[in-house]
């Protein structure tokens, strides 16, 4: 088979990309329903200290950061399909163990809360250790099979799968909790993730690795320090930090401010249903829908470069972070979430595709792992800059910090995110032969 300068067309890969899209949607739904709905209610039902919820989330995020680059490299060695399938099965096992541990605590099978806590922590950590393989493998799979002109659009569509899951997850969780039981969403996602893992293993086309033309490639060791790639990773870490701050702090700020101004009545009955949860849910959903619209509808039509997406998205998030400090009203908070959502929708595919375009074909797995780690690293430390600063420094502090960081990142992206990898023959991307699939 002769080498081709163009990668296999997206049409020939549409079914494979769709399978990865729905796999990431399952991951997004499971994570969001666990963090925003199931875990807080479970901690309350089990009468655990409040800090245990943060500990469960932070340890998983740390494992995600540490293991994502490893699985990205392994996808270079063993192929994208087995690593993506392993990641989904790891996610399924994580949710199953978490559900079993929670059930044991709720029914009184295990009465010692530290033991239940350790079991919950172990179950969630499986996701960070093994479940972190799906994202870098999926990203690298798409990068292997798209050219420079289409990569940003395809990666944005792939990312939209995760975003769609974050929209659907809480709603699905609410229905299952109301109709069945508190941990029903956890077991449902475990079954769905296992099914997606098996589907990837049996149906994702990858009969052999693409045969890559011999090139002079950058060293894998210390790739994160590469001057062409480093700006994208720095931007990704900044974006992750600000995203963690805003996601964790915004709900408290909105409810507190609207209560202070009298929009919500002060709740004196400790057993009464909290006020403002419906309004908060609507506002947060608007933000998620804005992200989805940016990734699915706007990016394919605007055809912006990775640098333009990064700079535009950063400015949108900076404006949203500043706007939140103005006169509090439902309309303002809704606009804040729409701007933040669109900024996320532009920024994340921008830096992801930019990082992919900054290296040659042989390092796509490595880069995908580093990008996945960058997406998680900010969430490990964001509680310090978010909720802790909100409570102990000033309620405005997290949002001023977020606005300054993203304003800087907008300028940083404009000046530094310019690298496109060039192979020794001057082509933007390495030639590959079309795999037999």
CATH classification of the domain holding 184:
1.20.1250.20
Q: Are residues 52 and 183 in the same domain?
A: yes
Q: Are residues 200 and 227 in the same domain?
A: no
Q: Are residues 258 and 345 in the same domain?
A: yes
Position 8 in a domain:
no
More confident residue, 412 or 270: 412
Position 63 in a domain:
yes
> Among 34-43, 161-170, 255-264, 346-355, which is the least confidently predicted range?
255-264
Which residue intervals of 219-363 are DSSP H helices? 230-260, 277-293, 299-302, 306-323, 330-357
Q: How confident is the model at residue 207 (pLDDT cuts 50, 70, 90)?
A: low
Mean pLDDT across the chain = 82
Q: Domain boundary residue among 170, 204, 238?
A: 204
Identify the pLDDT of residue 127.
93
Q: Domain boundary residue among 157, 173, 204?
A: 204
Position 270 in a domain:
no
> Among 6-20, 111-125, 369-383, which is the least confidently predicted range?
6-20
Q: Are residues 242 and 320 in the same domain?
A: yes
Contacts of residues 187-193 at CB distance under 8 Å and 24 or more positions apart, as own/partner, are 187/95, 187/96, 187/99, 189/26, 189/29, 189/30, 189/33, 189/95, 190/92, 190/93, 190/95, 190/96, 190/99, 191/92, 192/26, 192/30, 193/26, 193/27, 193/30, 193/88, 193/89, 193/91, 193/92, 193/95
Query: Best-predicted range by mean pLDDT among 3-17, 47-61, 203-217?
Result: 47-61
Position 428 in a domain:
no
> Among 192-201, 243-252, 268-277, 326-335, which is the least confidently predicted range?
268-277
Identify the pLDDT of residue 106.
92
Q: Which two tokens stand for residue 370?
A: 């580093």
Q: Are residues 188 and 309 in the same domain?
A: no
Identify the pLDDT of residue 2.
36
Q: What is the mean pLDDT of residues 109-119?
A: 90
Position 213 in a domain:
no
Position 290 in a domain:
yes
More confident residue, 328 or 297: 297
Domains in the chain: how many in total?
A: 2
Q: What is the pLDDT of residues 147-205, one digit of tens each?
A: 877 888 888 888 888 888 888 888 888 888 888 988 999 999 999 999 999 999 999 98
Phi-psi region of 434 (alpha: psi -120 to 50; beta: other; left: phi over 0): beta
Q: Are residues 185 and 251 in the same domain?
A: no
Q: Are residues 172 and 233 in the same domain?
A: no
Identify the pLDDT of residue 159.
84
Position 166 in a domain:
yes
SS3 content of the chain, % helix, strand, coil (to 5): 75, 0, 25
Q: Are residues 191 and 303 in the same domain?
A: no
More confident residue, 243 or 9: 243
Q: What is the pLDDT of residues 332-371, one digit of tens each?
A: 999 999 999 999 999 998 888 888 888 877 788 888 888 8
Give me the half-sphere count of Cα atoms (radius 13 Å) on the Cβ side of residue 247. 18
Q: Are residues 109 and 161 in the same domain?
A: yes
Position 81 in a domain:
yes
pLDDT exceeds 60 at position 269: no
Q: Domain boundary residue among 152, 172, 204?
A: 204
Q: Are residues 51 and 148 in the same domain?
A: yes
Q: Which two tokens stand for residue 48?
A: 């655990």
Identify the pLDDT of residue 400.
95
Identify the pLDDT of residue 4.
39
More confident residue, 284 or 420: 284
Q: Which two tokens stand for residue 160?
A: 């939209």
Identify the pLDDT of residue 170.
80
Q: Are residues 257 and 139 in the same domain?
A: no
**CA proximity to 294, closest of 315, 309, 311:** 309
Q: Which domain holds residue 143?
A: 13-204
Q: Are residues 128 and 185 in the same domain?
A: yes
């Amino acid at each position: 088979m002769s080498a081709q300068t163009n990668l296999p067309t997206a049409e020939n890969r549409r079914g494979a990309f769709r399978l990865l899209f729905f796999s990431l949607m399952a991951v997004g739904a499971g994570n969001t329903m666990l963090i925003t709905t199931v875990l807080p209610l479970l901690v309350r039902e089990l009468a655990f200290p409040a800090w245990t919820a943060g500990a469960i989330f932070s340890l998983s995020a740390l494992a995600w950061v540490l293991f994502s680059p490893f699985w990205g490299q392994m996808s270079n060695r063993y192929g994208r399909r087995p690593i993506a399938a392993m990641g989904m099965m790891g996610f399924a096992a994580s949710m199953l163990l978490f559900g079993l541990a929670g059930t044991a605590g709720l029914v009184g099978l295990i009465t010692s809360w530290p033991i239940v806590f350790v079991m919950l922590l172990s179950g969630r950590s499986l996701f960070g250790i093994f479940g972190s393989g799906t994202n870098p493998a999926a990203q690298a799979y798409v990068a292997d099979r798209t050219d420079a002109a289409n990569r940003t659009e395809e990666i944005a569509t792939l990312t939209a799968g995760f975003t769609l899951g974050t929209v659907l997850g809480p709603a699905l969780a609410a229905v299952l909790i109301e109709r069945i039981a508190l941990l029903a969403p956890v077991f449902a996602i475990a079954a769905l993730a296992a099914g997606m893992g098996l589907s990837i293993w049996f149906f994702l086309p990858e009969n052999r690795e693409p045969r890559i033309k011999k090139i002079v490639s950058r060293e894998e060791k210390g790739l994160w320090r590469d001057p062409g790639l480093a700006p994208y990773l720095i931007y990704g870490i900044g974006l992750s930090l600000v995203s963690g701050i805003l996601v964790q702090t915004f709900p408290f700020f909105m409810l507190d401010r609207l209560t202070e101004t009298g929009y919500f009545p002060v709740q004196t009955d400790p057993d009464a249903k909290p006020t403002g949860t419906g309004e908060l849910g609507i506002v947060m959903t608007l933000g998620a829908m804005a992200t989805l619209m940016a990734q699915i509808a706007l990016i394919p039509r605007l055809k912006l470069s990775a640098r333009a997406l990064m700079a535009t998205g950063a400015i949108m998030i900076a404006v949203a972070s500043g706007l939140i400090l103005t006169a509090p009203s439902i309309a303002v908070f809704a606009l804040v979430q729409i701007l933040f959502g669109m900024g996320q929708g532009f920024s994340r595919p921008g830096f992801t595709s930019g990082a992919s375009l900054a290296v040659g074909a042989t390092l796509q797995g490595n880069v995908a792992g580093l990008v996945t780690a960058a997406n998680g690293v900010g969430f490990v430390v964001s509680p310090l800059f978010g909720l802790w600063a909100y409570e102990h420094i000033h309620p405005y502090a997290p949002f001023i910090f977020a606005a300054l960081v993203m304003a800087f990142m907008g300028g940083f992206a404009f000046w530094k995110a310019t690298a496109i990898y060039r192979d020794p023959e001057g082509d933007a991307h390495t030639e590959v032969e079309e795999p037999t699939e």
